[in-house]
A = this chain, B = another copy of it.
Amino acid sequence: MLGKTYDQENCSAARALELVGERWSLLIIRDALFRNITRFAEFQRSLGVATNVLSSRLDGFVAAGLMQGRTYSNHEDHYEYVLTDKGRDLAAVVIALTTWGDRWAAPNGPPIVYRHDGCGGQIDTGLVCSRCAQQVPVIEIEAEPGPGSHSGATQSSASRRVKKRRSASVAASDSARS
């Protein structure tokens, strides 16, 4: 429905972006997730997005199984779009973007804070190791081909050996060269 922009890419991030990488997609999902918006007019009012774009995105989400469309409270003209589990699972993506934006693009502080209902603590996204359960800095993360590396893509971008990183950051590679 949204086109196969990243056909050549055998990568789950690319597959995800095919479904939610269009303009406005993740902000529509954000509104559905955290503002409990379900109706076309409410999305439109909240986002100010063009109606043809909004319509295309919502239809695409239904086709992709991210939302379920249905009539609302027995009024046929009351139609709503409700996130499925697949759609709700994008919360980590929305909050990861928010966390980054709070850190690098919010000079007046976070406009929106995500809190844990249970204890009131702020929610953050962490890169967590599933074995040692530690929060892992980026420098300690390596990418390698997984079980699905040989299927799907016509180009071997994922299946070829992922190159070992030679530099951690501008500063680190600068000092290594000096």
Chain B contacts for A100, CB-based, 8 A = 12, 16, 89-90, 92-93
From known contacts A48-B155, A91-B127, A109-B147, infer whether A26 and B35 are also in contact, taking CB-CB under 8 Å: no
Query: Residues of A within 8 Å of B, CB-based: how many?
Result: 110
Is A108 an interface position by the 8 A CB rule? yes
Is there an interface contact between A27 and B6, defined as CB atoms closer than 8 Å?
A: yes
Is A55 an interface position by the 8 A CB rule? no
Query: A31-44, CB under 8 A of B: which get 1 and which 0?
Result: 00111110000000
Interface residues, chain A, with chain B CB atoms under 8 Å away:
5-6, 8-19, 21, 23, 26-27, 30, 33-37, 46-48, 68, 82-86, 88-132, 134-136, 138, 140-149, 151-153, 155, 157-159, 162-171, 173
3 nearest interchain CB pairs? A121-B131, A12-B101, A109-B147
